[in-house]
């Protein structure tokens, strides 16, 4: 578990960077052979792309680093439970293990897809570990959205 926390702290630092840039604070790292081969944070606002989720940015960088699109010996560490789109990318990239921090009650899909990913009829298995640094990951998100709501409230009162 200590190893998971080390990589999750790197993802958390990326989430904090995303927040500083005005992006939804989610960070992700892809690990191969105990080294980071891909990393990213949400860039949807800056790129104006619905595909610029932290997980997908990190997966694309890992594919470029490794030189192959199948990442079956890799792990993904992400601060927020992946959404349905990101779970699809995880399955397609053949990531073998996903570790996430905070649950996403609105759009999270990793835990519900775990049963699908574990189905013996599939040729790909993906282990899902949840709750690594969950409090810290959740705090970054809640602080970000609290600031946005406060700014909106201030703008409405003017």
User: Which sequence positions are flagged as catalytic?
Assistant: 55
Three-state DSSP class for residue 16: helix
From CA 87, how far away is CA 83, in angstroms rounded?
6
Spatial contact of 128 and 117, defined as CB atoms under 8 Å apart: yes
SS3 content of the chain, % helix, strand, coil (to 5): 50, 20, 30
From CA 104, how far away is CA 118, in angstroms rounded?
21
């Amino acid at each position: 578990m200590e190893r998971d926390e080390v990589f999750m702290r790197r993802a958390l630092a990326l989430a904090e960077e995303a927040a500083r840039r005005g992006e939804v604070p989610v960070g992700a790292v892809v690990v191969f052979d105990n080294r980071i081969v891909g990393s990213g944070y949400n860039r949807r606002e800056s790129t104006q792309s619905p595909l610029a989720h932290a997980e997908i940015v990190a997966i694309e960088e890992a594919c470029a680093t490794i030189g192959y699109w199948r990442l079956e010996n890799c792990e993904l560490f992400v601060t927020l439970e992946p959404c349905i789109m990101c779970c699809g990318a995880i399955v397609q990239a053949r990531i073998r293990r996903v570790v996430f921090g905070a649950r996403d009650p609105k759009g999270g899909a990793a835990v519900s897809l775990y049963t699908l990913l574990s189905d013996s009829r599939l040729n790909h298995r993906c282990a899902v570990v949840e709750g690594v640094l969950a409090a810290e990951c959740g705090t970054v998100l809640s602080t970000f959205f609290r600031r946005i709501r406060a700014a909106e409230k201030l703008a409405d009162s003017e």
